[in-house]
Structure 1
Amino acid sequence: MNRSCVSCLKSMVTALIFLCWLCGAFVIALGEFQMIHSRFASLIISFWPIYPANTLVVTGTIVTCVCFLGVLGGMKENRCMLITFFILLLILMLVELAMACVFLVYSREIDTYFEGDLMRSLETYRQSSEEENRTLKDDFDAVQHLFRCCGVHGMEDWKDNIPISCCSVDPCDISIHDHWQEGCAVKLRNWFARNYVSTGAGVVTMFIIQLICLCITIPLTCHIHRRGLGYQ
């Protein structure tokens, strides 16, 4: 392999890994943005991975750390760093595939966790005093107002303690029973599903970039080994 080909391959490896690093940084920023602006986090308490923001932040953090190692290895032509990057990135890709399979296979169990969390949050809301669990109450009221729904499966979940956020008219009159009839479980599940479509598209794009990085890292690592630059 002549020097021009090596230089081109090195530049390509470094550029692609850096692009992957930027994707990871963007994923972290997107996850943090969702955490700050979303009002639903306190309602999902027992099975946190179904909350998209958490998944984005964890995945993005791991990707940026691994890709930073790969960028350094490519720039310094360090075989040890590149091999470590290759192994860690391969493990990360396998974990991503495993997580995708888990979500596909256990989607019904995830729905059960989802509805269970909402029901526990509703019961906590219903049984709390005026000043208790204000964050949870504010989040549940925000969900009902934003999605125009009431309760988990319907207004019957609240029994005789229906909150004002269930009202479908303004100003609200509880005695007239002008409440949203549809439950929030279905609407929230659809909202999370739409988030996962966009999240999944980003993960697939990043997975393709990672696969290309793995493929072109191998010849560069072999060339560095033949030149004896493994641990410089």
Structure 2
Amino acid sequence: MNRSCVNCLKTMMILLNFLCWLCGAFVVAFGEFQMMHSRYASLVTSFWPIYPANTLVVTGTIVTCVCYLGVLGGLRENRCMLITFFILLFILMLVELAMACVFLVYSREIGTFVEKDLMRSLETYKESSPDGNQTIRDDFDAVQYLFRCCGVHSEADWEGNVPISCCAEDPCNSVPHTNWREGCHVKLGNWFARNFLSTGAGVVSLFIIQFMCMCFTVPLFCHFRRRGLGYK
């Protein structure tokens, strides 16, 4: 392999890894943004370990670290870095593929989890004092206000003790007032499903870029090994 081909492979690998690093950094930032602005974590806890925001932060952090190793290995023509990068990237791709499958499975069953957790949160809200379980109370009020819904299935779930966040009027200063008729189960379930599908699609896109990085790493590593380069 002549030097021009090697330089071309190095350039492509470095550019792809840099692009992958940028994607990982964006994923971390987007996950942090979701964590700061999400008001539903205390209400839906069944799939908290694979909550979209958590998954984005963890995956993005690992991707940025691994891709940085790939950029350094290409720039320094270091075989040790390249083989380490290749192994870590291969493991990461397997994990991402498994995650994408999990997201697809959960997106089909998400309605069941959301309904069960919302009913539990609603009962906690009804049974708590005005100063008790403040996080659940605030989050449930936020969901009803933002999604323009009331209760889990309808306002009947509140059994007559309907919170002000269900009010459909603005400003809500009349008694009795009109409440949102639709329950939060369907709306919040659709919101989670969209987030799971978009997260799964992002993971698949990142998987494709990483696969291309691996394709450029193999010939570079073989060239450096034949030339006896790469351990300095």
Q: State whether TM-score is above 0.5.
A: yes
Deviates more, 1:162-171 or 1:137-146: 162-171
What are the within-5 Å matches in structure 2 for residues 34-45 of structure 1? 34-45=34-45
Q: Which residue of 1 aligns with 2:15?
A: 15
Please report how far the alpha carbon of residue 105 of structure 1 lies from its aligned counterpart in structure 2 after TM superposition: 3.3
Q: Which residue of 2 aligns with 1:27?
A: 27
Unaligned runs of 5+ in 1: none
Contact between 2:103 and 2:200, CA under 8 Å: does it hold in 1?
no
Please report how far the alpha carbon of residue 173 of structure 1 lies from its aligned counterpart in structure 2 after TM superposition: 4.6
Please report how far the alpha carbon of residue 143 of structure 1 lies from its aligned counterpart in structure 2 after TM superposition: 0.8
Contact between 2:100 and 2:201, CA under 8 Å: does it hold in 1?
no
Q: Which residue of 2 aligns with 1:51?
A: 51
Q: Which residue of 2 aligns with 1:148?
A: 148
What are the within-5 Å matches in structure 2 for residues 1-232 of structure 1? 1-49=1-49, 51-169=51-169, 170-173=171-174, 176=176, 178-232=178-232
For 1:3, give the aligned amino acid. R
State the TM-score, normalizing by the size of structure 1.
Answer: 0.91
Please report how far the alpha carbon of residue 185 of structure 1 lies from its aligned counterpart in structure 2 after TM superposition: 1.1
Change (3 A) 1:181 1:50: farther
Distance 1:53 1:91 in 2: 22
Contact between 1:79 and 1:229, CA under 8 Å: does it hold in 2?
yes
* Deviation by residue 1:50-97 (Cα, 9 ceiling, x = unmatched): 532112111111111111111111111111111111111111111111
State the TM-score, normalizing by the size of structure 2.
Answer: 0.91
Distance 2:197 2:74 in 1: 33
For 1:4, give the aligned amino acid. S
Deviates more, 1:29-38 or 1:201-210: 201-210
Change (3 A) 1:197 1:102: closer
Unaligned runs of 5+ in 2: none
SS at match of 2:181: coil
Distance 1:70 1:44 in 2: 38
Root mean square deviation, CA, Å: 1.8
For 2:178, give the aligned amino acid. D
Distance 1:195 1:99 in 2: 14
Distance 2:158 2:34 in 1: 29
Identical positions, percent: 74
For 1:171, give the aligned amino acid. C
Change (3 A) 1:69 1:143: same
